[in-house]
Structure 1
Amino acid sequence: MFDHVRIYGEPLRCVDCLFARQRIGVFGVQLISGFSTSNIRGDLYGGLTAAVVALPLALAFGVSSGVGAIAGLYGAIFVGLFAALFGGTPSQVSGPTGPMTVVMAAVFTQFVAIDPNSGPILAFTVVIMGGAFQALFGLLRLGKYITLVPFPVISGFMSGIGVIIILLQLGPLLGHAAPGGVIDAVEALPAFIEQTNLSALLLGLLSLATLFFLPRRLATLIPSPLVALIIGTLLSLFLLRDDSLTVIGEIPTGLPSLQWPTFNADLFQEMVQAALMLAALGSVDSLLTSLVADNMTKTHHNSDRELVGQGIGNMVAGLFGGLPGAGATMRTVVNIRAGGKTPISGSVHALALLAIVLGAGPLAENIPHAVLAGILIKVGIDIIDWKFLQRLHRAPMFVVVLMLLVFGLTVFVDLVTAVLAGVFLANIITVKRLADTQIAAVQVISDADDEHDLLNARENEVLRQAAGRILLYHFNGPVSYGAAKGIIQKLQQAQKHDALILDFSRVPMIDVSTAMAIEDMIVDSQAACREVYVIGTNDVVHNVLSRMQILRLLPERCLHEQRESALEAAYSHLDKVIAG
């Protein structure tokens, strides 16, 4: 009964009828994707469980970013709430993630170093701009393209992010302040080891051990990050009592104040670049988590709507001084396993964290940095793509080189360069392989002595009668720009003919580069006094050739729908030329 309704360009199918009433708002606009009160108990429990998992991670990400623990909580609250309300993955829980925190730390450090006074505001303006770009990606319906990044690039990138997180947390684990970047962390490591704070190291290692070895039965009741946080904090307060331990310190309570965006004309290019990086990374991170949620719930998310929701969440987070976020895989999995299915669970997760900020902020002030470092090192270890690394030696050499290149650029250069270089190289190789396949699929038929399965009896007979004077150039499948030069070279290898037939009967599409290569083939053949015939063009191919004004090079008698009629026309014309 809802087949006639279209939402975000997609028809509302019968399988959606369960949530139809709640999904359709004013004038058929979908307000909250997948909203339903039929699973309220599971959503409440899932949201609360996800909040318990998110609390220590948000604090750790906030401290790691350099902005402060409260920024991590604000990010979890605002991104979590608005991405749930306006996103396209009902069961997804969003908030600060490892990759987003790494980028935000770099952005914050960059702008504070340039201008200590306005740098923090510029950094949060970048977060707002990144959210706006994300929403724009969704409105432009780019969601389906963002997850097309090749797997070796994603693997190298994510593994690099994991290593960055680990290297940056080695300092706090040993009782020292986190260095500004990866190179600084590596250079400072010998001094950190030499001046190790044993209390901090003990707490960090205890946190790591808790995360790795907490019994699974207990972990289902209380998430291991929270257990590590509680044990480490209590141990530092009542047993160690080491004044040299650095702790989170004062955490503001109450609602955050609004921070209007500020722009700097001299830094605008850097701000746009950083915002695009946040937007691209957040989009990939979120949509990959959406795929995990789909696999667990046997549903299908709306990629474009998810980008809009994530963008709105990040814009609001930036306005209130929160870290940027994305779909968080760990929190989403915990939510689904605890029974969360609809956006209510993501909203409950955010509201529960808001309640903590409003009333329980002082309880987190004594959490040692070393405990958070242990939690984040576990996050970094989990982000590394161990599954693919274990099989890296079995992969083709190009895949290995590509993955390691992206990994190295991510860790030691920057994330933008890593992704752009990886995608560029992967696409170049892919285009080359596709071009080779397309060129190999082209059949050049002129031998009158052979029977060709492609041709019927009459067509074979015409070729035999032509005695090699007709060359049939049969394209097979789509022809892309990568194959354009190759198809010309293949034609140049067969010069002994008086007529050329270009057979597009099995070509679903061509691009402009291919069309221009076709023009060169026609012009060169006509210059050599050869007749050229074009046959079998469908609407797509015909439109491209027409728009590029290529078909006007040929008279009407040289345009045919069927191969047989073109062969007979070519043979008849050649006979007339010889007779004349």
Structure 2
Amino acid sequence: MKTSRSETLVGDIWGGTAAMLVALPSAIAFGVTIFAALGSQYGAQGAVAGILGTVAMGLLAPLFGGTNRLISAPCAPAAAVLSAFAIDHMARGGDPRLGLLLLALLGLMAGGLQVLMGALKLGRLIKYMPYPVVSGYLSGVGMIIIASQLPRFLGTPKGTSFWNALASPNLWRWQGMAVGGATIAVMLLAPRVTKKVPAPVLGLAAGILTYLGLGLMDPALLTLAGNSFVVGTLGGGEGSVLDALAARGASLGQLGFGVLRDLLVPALTLAVLLSIDTLKTCVVLDALTRTRHDSNRELMGQGIGNLAAAALGGVPGAGTMGATLVNMSSGAATRLSGMVEGIAALIAFVLLAPLISWVPVASLSGILLVIGVRMINWSSLAFLKSRSTVLDFCVIAAVVACALSVSLIVASGVGVLLAVLLFLREQVHGSVVRRVTSGEVTHSKRVRVHEEMDILAEKGGQFAVAELQGSLFFGTTSQLFHSLEADLKLRRYLILDMRRVQSVDITAAHMLDQIKDMLGERGGMLIFSHIPRSLPSGRDMQHYFDQLGLVRSGHPVKVFGEVDEAVEWAEDHIIAEAALVAPEESPLELAEIELFKGRKKETLTELEGHMEARVVPAGEKIFSVGNQGDELFLIRKGAVRIVLPLADGQVRHLATFGRGSFFGEMAFLDGETRSADAIAFTDVHLFVLSRRNFDGFADSHKKVGLVLMEGLASILAGRLRYTNAELRALEA
């Protein structure tokens, strides 16, 4: 059922408003966390920065990004990176006002880098970040948030570290713990009661009510001035928002090249984390709504939103999972819902600014503690249960350790490096030789006479078909040689089926060149089949082999388009060496054809009178699929290919019949239409026996007719036996 425009508009308004209720409390908490690191007097300014970031991201990111239903707002990765930067700045004796300016510049640089990444089409690359790396740094961000918020939750003095706060119960302030505890309890329990009102809103309301209740017992808690339990007057130590922007401008004179250079790594870290957070949310949204977002456009939209947020003094952000899911479940359908979220945040700021001053800091810490705990990927602990996933857990643990001890950008780099090493390890341990089949049990589609099949059963072991797969590179070269070493000592012809090969580097190509030389020294031949024209990397493997001289003419190497052609070539050489193929200077006589050997000359002469001798030039069709016909064709000279036409104009090669063989037996036996095309591969000399003529002959020679049908059945049974043996070999 198609939704009307009015219904879509209503859904977007409700969805955007509900998303704002989820995003705004968290944004305020993130802002207070970041700015309070510069000094407690800046906490209120941080609350304003969180709101401004929500407004700017909400209005501009949907407008330029274009992903339907996506909600953008300040997020945990931004809080982790910016608060760590602010703490480091103050630890080095930095000026708080300069710190405000540097935070804004960080946001501007991160937004600019996101726009650049989108313009350079890097959106897809960021989506391919390995899962253990993403899981590790998100868990690391969650732990960083917990470490920064627990001292605030406990009410310890500013500057108290996580471990000191835990080890110093005498510094704890029970009022803040009561407020934070009430917030956490309601956030966790609220979804069990109702999902109509977002849990963060209910948790924040519970924290405020708890604080007001404590204020009735202690009137000092109800004063705004100098009260460290609440956010405080908006604007903090800088007066109005405009005064705060002016203070940032006044600090421009303290900037230098060294300061800007030091911002580059944190800005790159912030840009990458915000981009991954956004695209991760977009991927989940695509899966839920069966849509497809434009990664590069979304990066540019997010970058523009972050540029605006930083220019206003707000906290940068990303597409957030929680608010986006609330938006979608509330009926939103288009990107207008994201803009509604920004407008709703602006209205809330204008109408509720006085109330925001009374928001308890411990309540905001409680919200962030819940967010931090939820960001940790606890399910990754299950990786320890299986030996196959233990190393993936080690990657996650290494990323978390680097995130906590060094930096998030170093953690991401370490994680990617470890993921690459795990990939290489997987490639090295995976077999690049899928199967090796001896020529004694695998056969071409060339239908051969009984004597030829006997010699192939005896001497077919002179060749083998090795099916290669995966990546042939320096890490698998040794494995490739050891897997083929035994066959190199036994076979004269080694056929390498390359159809499943994904990549080949120069080390593997050099090894193939050595294998070619080893076979050549014994008079053998290395044969390639199905060399891919286009690998996933875009490389033309056959052209690459030509450049390296691997398939150079005059060398003991041959190249075929299909495995069957290669196997047929090897079989022909083995049979020719056994002198089983007589020179085809003249067509076979009827008595020389396998089906009629041992029959009386007089009988065959009479039978030949019922046949038609026919010559078909190379390339011409003998019959086509769907044709009516009941003739049995006996090949006196030449070869015939049976092919099945496909819908796309291509054909599938089913079989090849040579001198002494017959074809067309199915229609001869059952009288149905032809099931494939028969094409003369070379100039072909045929005996053609129609079923009508055969029945006329059999009426007067019943015994001969019966013997001929038995011979026909015997040869068909023999072909079936060889096919069954080949299938068993392939299944082994």
TM-score range, shorter chain: 0.7 to 0.9
In the TM superposition, residue 91 of structure 1 has moved relative to its aligned partner by: 0.6
- Structure 1 residue 546 and structure 2 residue 543: aligned? yes
Which structure exhibits the higher relative contact order, with contacts defined as CA atoms closer than 8 Å and separated by 6 or more residues?
Answer: 1
Question: Which among 143, 147, 152 is matched to residue 127 of structure 2?
Answer: 147
Letter in 2 for 1:203: V
Partners of 2:444 and 2:552 in 1: CA distance = 25
Q: How does 1:101-500 map to 2 (within 5 A)?
A: 101-114=79-92, 115-116=94-95, 118-177=98-157, 179=159, 184-191=161-168, 193-214=169-190, 216-217=192-193, 220-221=196-197, 223-235=201-213, 237-242=215-220, 245-252=228-235, 257=245, 264-267=256-259, 270-358=262-350, 360-389=352-381, 393=385, 396-441=389-434, 443-445=435-437, 447=438, 450-452=440-442, 469-470=462-463, 472-476=465-469, 479=472, 482-496=475-489, 499=492
Contact 1:162 1:382 in 2 (8 A): yes
Letter in 1 for 2:178: L
Partners of 1:423 and 1:453 in 2: CA distance = 46
Q: 1:206 to 1:225 in 2, by over 3 A?
A: closer
- Structure 1 residue 536 and structure 2 residue 527: aligned? no
Contact 1:175 1:245 in 2 (8 A): no
The corresponding residue for 1:519 is 510
Identity of aligned residues (%): 28
The corresponding residue for 1:84 is 62
Letter in 2 for 1:419: S
Partners of 1:282 and 1:461 in 2: CA distance = 69
| SS of equivalent to 1:423 | helix
Question: Which among 18, 31, 47 is matched to residue 62 of structure 1?
Answer: 31
User: Which protein has the bigger strand share?
Assistant: 2
Q: Structure 2 unaligned runs (5+)?
A: 37-45, 222-226, 580-732
Moved more, 395-404 or 372-381: 395-404
Letter in 2 for 1:52: L
| SS of equivalent to 1:495 | helix
Partners of 2:548 and 2:268 in 1: CA distance = 40
Contact 1:435 1:480 in 2 (8 A): no
Letter in 2 for 1:351: I
Q: 1:568 to 1:349 in 2, by over 3 A?
A: closer
Letter in 2 for 1:131: G
Q: 1:478 to 1:430 in 2, by over 3 A?
A: closer
Compute the TM-score of the two structures, normalised by the length of structure 2: 0.65
Moved more, 549-558 or 281-290: 549-558
Root mean square deviation of aligned Cα: 3.8
Partners of 1:317 and 1:268 in 2: CA distance = 19
Partners of 1:505 and 1:463 in 2: CA distance = 24
Contact 2:399 2:411 in 1 (8 A): yes
Partners of 1:167 and 1:37 in 2: CA distance = 47
Contact 1:156 1:407 in 2 (8 A): yes
Letter in 2 for 1:538: P
Partners of 1:423 and 1:213 in 2: CA distance = 38
Q: 1:481 to 1:455 in 2, by over 3 A?
A: farther
Moved more, 338-347 or 267-276: 267-276
In the TM superposition, residue 335 of structure 1 has moved relative to its aligned partner by: 1.6
Letter in 2 for 1:352: A
Moved more, 497-506 or 380-389: 497-506
| SS of equivalent to 1:214 | helix
Write the deviation string for residues 183-206 of structure 1: whole angstroms up to 9, x where unpaired.
x32234323x22212222222222
Higher radius of gyration, 1 or 2: 2
In the TM superposition, residue 350 of structure 1 has moved relative to its aligned partner by: 0.9
Partners of 1:303 and 1:74 in 2: CA distance = 25
| SS of equivalent to 2:67 | coil
Partners of 2:293 and 2:209 in 1: CA distance = 38
Letter in 2 for 1:190: A
Question: How many residues are matched?
Answer: 539
Question: Which among 14, 39, 56 is matched to residue 8 of structure 2?
Answer: 39
| SS of equivalent to 1:341 | coil
In the TM superposition, residue 80 of structure 1 has moved relative to its aligned partner by: 2.2
Write the deviation string for residues 327-356 of structure 1: whole angstroms up to 9, x where unpaired.
112211222222222222211111222233
In the TM superposition, residue 221 of structure 1 has moved relative to its aligned partner by: 3.8
Letter in 2 for 1:535: S
Compute the TM-score of the two structures, normalised by the length of structure 1: 0.80
Contact 2:499 2:532 in 1 (8 A): no
Partners of 1:217 and 1:456 in 2: CA distance = 74
Moved more, 559-568 or 375-384: 559-568
| SS of equivalent to 1:558 | strand
Write the deviation string for residues 444-484 of structure 1: whole angstroms up to 9, x where unpaired.
45x55x41379877798897676655454432466566434
Moved more, 55-64 or 147-156: 147-156
Contact 2:70 2:338 in 1 (8 A): yes
In the TM superposition, residue 78 of structure 1 has moved relative to its aligned partner by: 1.4
Write the deviation string for residues 339-375 of structure 1: whole angstroms up to 9, x where unpaired.
2222222111112222333454232122221121122
Letter in 2 for 1:375: I
The corresponding residue for 1:10 is none
In the TM superposition, residue 59 of structure 1 has moved relative to its aligned partner by: 1.2
Q: Structure 1 unaligned runs (5+)?
A: 1-14, 20-35
Letter in 2 for 1:423: V
Q: 1:570 to 1:318 in 2, by over 3 A?
A: same
Partners of 2:265 and 2:379 in 1: CA distance = 32
| SS of equivalent to 1:90 | coil
Moved more, 397-406 or 460-469: 460-469
Contact 2:465 2:497 in 1 (8 A): no
| SS of equivalent to 1:84 | helix
Q: 1:460 to 1:508 in 2, by over 3 A?
A: farther
Write the deviation string for residues 252-285 of structure 1: whole angstroms up to 9, x where unpaired.
3667849789775335554332222212211221
In the TM superposition, residue 236 of structure 1 has moved relative to its aligned partner by: 5.4
Partners of 2:290 and 2:578 in 1: CA distance = 69
| SS of equivalent to 1:208 | helix
Partners of 1:558 and 1:107 in 2: CA distance = 63
Q: 1:228 to 1:376 in 2, by over 3 A?
A: farther
| SS of equivalent to 2:22 | helix
